[in-house]
Chain A
Amino acid sequence: MMNARWSVYLVRSATTAAPFALAIAIGAVVLAATGHEPLAVYQLMVEEAFGGERRIAATLTAATPLLLTGLAAAVAFRAGIFNVGAEGCFYLGGMAAAVVGYASPNWPSTLLIPLALAASGLVGGAWLLGPGVLRARLGVDEVVTTLMLNFIAVDLTSWLVNGPLLARGSANSATPQIVSNAELPRLLPPSTLHLGFVLSLSLVVAYGFWGRFSVEGFRSRLVGLSARFSRAVGIDPLRIFVGVMVASGVIGGLAGGIHVLGLVHRFVAGFSPGYGFTGVAIALLARNSAFGVALAAILFGALSSAGANIQLFSNVPLEIVEILQGAVMIFAVAQFGFGWAGHRLGP
């Protein structure tokens, strides 16, 4: 009995570690082939990500948007909804928060920050209401609609920021700066770590409790495990589909809003280097568990914060990080597809 239990844990940790191990191996081949010492580069990356308070703060700052995009994906995935639309929500939520943040009078922070975040969540949720309803009512595949909506959101915000909302006198495509009262406070100045990290982490924790202890959390997991069974026991899977899709959109929008209020302080075209897609990988690696999402988000945050520095301190191109991230994504779903391996797009 004990052995069986241990072997389950062993298999679980192995399946979670395997994508990272494979990605690190591929990265090592690329590094070695281009004349770098893989071990030395990786050692430098670990140092740059976790060596000292300042670097840990940078890593946690980089992990902040990923906590929420990972969460956005996880909320939907556990109910069996394959939503890849967090990227688009991130853009639109960021845009909404930036607009509220610069267009408002200089109200107190306690009013302005909740207002801006509410706007970003609202926009994100509304953006995914359509795919949710289409999936629930007409069976339209949510993967394709949410993927397409990402591209639409990127183009839409880039139009807004180049035309109607362009900051006066600004050459690059960006909105004006948000007012200082709309900025999320810094936690450890001079580092850029901001209150958004705490907000995001608490949302992830809340998700953990919701999933484990609430009725809706239980129902949505049941729907994810078997929609037919849930219907048989009187749960309406269609309502859950729409609900988790909107919830996922709200969280994706909040991720963008927090990124604007906490770090960027304005909306810039090309705002996200694929945070939404990394979030999908995070949710898959974490198998939708709250603890896993937090851990994977910090690991990916470490990758990107280390990447920025290794280019400065060695001649290894920053893009090694993208290679590693892509490889983790690929292997996150390999062999142990967590039930989605058979997912096919409809006609």
Chain B
Amino acid sequence: MIDLFLHAAILTTTPILLAAIGGLVNRIGGLVNLGLESMMLAGALVAVEVSSAASSAALAIVAAGAIGAVVGLTMSLVITRLRANEIIVGLGFTVAVAGLVRYLLKSLYGVSGTYNPPGVVMLPRLDIPFLDGVPIVGAILSRQDALTWFAWAMVPAVAFALTRTRWGLRLRATGSAEATVRAVGLAPLRIRDISTLFAGAMAGLAGAYLSIGIVGLFNEGITGGRGFIALAAFYFGRMSPARTALGALLFGFFDAAQIRLQGRGVPAELVQTLPYVIVIVVLTGLGVADWRAARERTL
């Protein structure tokens, strides 16, 4: 029982975590990405299509990451080069890509809503034989797929890259001191574009995970607002990968709980609001802390 729940919770955490890590890097580079949902949706569709056409899950993942990166870069260019507001452009991408995906489903495949081509190869689950029977640890670690392992490996990797590498320093400087970056001869807009490209790729992988990792088909509602939950996760995490992962894990647990609670008298819709409520609470808490600090300074 608890094993099943834990396993499900890790499963539902993965897409949120992938997208949240991307969004975090993007935000550190100075762009709040509200288009993650659209990149996820594009990744989910392309993963199903490639997996079915090429019979290869690996190829499908690469293609999903690539399409997410393309959507991300397009969005980034509009924001950085045409100096457009990131919030509206992000929401606009969410609307336009959702429309485009449904439009293409109808006009290319003649289906509305669900696309289920034959021969979709699912992501293989990796068994760890000696852990399989172990309660809790086995449920968490064994029979997860490569993308889940990748998502969790990205947490320390991104933390390391941000604090210990030249690239990380440049990225952080782009987000917090754009003029300085320009003054030392680097191109902050290009760095920001690359961070959005990365976020798009991560969101594309998250989409692939939803379509060929969990269900094995594409549905227009497959992302179900997870791009925005990822936003909630990286807001929860502020600028830290570890805290962002914690947020993603928390929201993944809510997601799994919400699925299990359906039909048991606990309103699933109310559980779904929790990530959003928590973000408002966290932001309020930060606001109060800032206000206290400011008051102490003036005293």
Seen from chain A, the residues whose Cβ lies within 8 Å of a Cβ on chain B are 30, 34-35, 82, 84, 134, 137-141, 143-145, 147-149, 151-152, 155-156, 158-159, 162-163, 274, 277, 280-281, 284, 316-317, 319-323, 325-335, 337, 340-341, 343-345, 347
Contact = CB atoms under 8 A, between A and B. Distances in A.
Contact of B276 (A151, A316, A317, A327): A151
Contacts of A281: 88, 92
Main secondary structure of the interface of B (DSSP, over half): helix
A134 B83 contact: no
A144 B238 CA distance: 13
Contact of B107 (A34, A139, A334, A343): A34
A44 to B, nearest CB: 16
Interface residues of B, number: 51
Interface of B: 27, 30, 32, 34, 78, 82-89, 91-100, 102-104, 106-108, 225, 228, 232, 235, 238-239, 267, 269-270, 272-273, 276-277, 279-280, 283-284, 286-288, 290-291
Contact of B96 (A84, A148, A323): A323
Q: Which of B82, B94, B95, B100 has the most CB of A within 10 A?
A: B95
What are the 6 tightest A-B residue pairs by CB atom distance, in nearest-first order?
Answer: A326-B96, A322-B99, A138-B287, A329-B92, A326-B95, A159-B269
Contact of B87 (A35, A82, A134): A82
Contacts, number: 161
A82 B90 CA distance: 15
A333 to B, nearest CB: 4
B85 A340 contact: yes
B176 to A, nearest CB: 10
6 contacts: A145-B283, A156-B269, A320-B99, A322-B98, A322-B100, A347-B238
A180 B267 CA distance: 32
A152 B276 CA distance: 7
B185 to A, nearest CB: 23
A343 B92 contact: no
B293 to A, nearest CB: 12
A341 B99 contact: no
A138 B95 contact: no
A280 B91 contact: yes
A330 B88 contact: yes
Contacts of A148: 232, 276-277, 279-280
Contact of A337 (B85, B272, B279): B85
Contact of A334 (B32, B78, B99): B78
